[in-house]
């Protein structure tokens, strides 16, 4: 299942890559891809999961990585 998010507050492309690697190591995540230029995060999960729970998990990961990053479900 792929879930798309908007992500804001990342300072540089290198930081985006580091955060992406951290997100890929999370349990339900098969792959996470951050596009720094357009502020996009796409998460592919191993199984079906609740989008709100996944959002909370991604936000917690971002908060642990660096202050000021916000992640929202894309409409």
Count Cβ atoms within 10 A of the Cβ of residue 47 and give its class: 0-12 exposed, 13-18 middle, 19 or more buried: exposed
- Return the pLDDT at 47: 86
- pLDDT tens digit string along 10-62? 999 999 999 999 999 999 999 999 999 999 999 999 888 899 999 999 999 99
Domain 2-73 sits in CATH at: 3.30.70.100
pTM for the model stands at 0.93
**In the chain, what are the domain boundaries?**
2-73
Q: Which of 73, 23, 27, 22 is nearest to 52 (CA)?
A: 73
**Structure-block tokens of residue 50:** 């609740």
- Return the pLDDT at 7: 98
Count Cβ atoms within 10 A of the Cβ of residue 18 and give its class: 0-12 exposed, 13-18 middle, 19 or more buried: middle
- Return the pLDDT at 9: 97
């Amino acid at each position: 299942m792929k879930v798309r998010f908007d992500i804001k507050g990342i300072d540089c492309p290198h930081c985006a890559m580091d955060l992406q690697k951290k997100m890929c190591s999370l349990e339900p995540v098969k792959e996470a891809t951050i596009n720094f230029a357009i502020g996009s995060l796409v998460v592919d999960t191993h199984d079906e999961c609740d989008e709100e729970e996944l959002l909370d998990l991604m936000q917690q990961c971002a908060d642990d990585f660096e202050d000021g990053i916000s992640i929202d479900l894309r409409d």
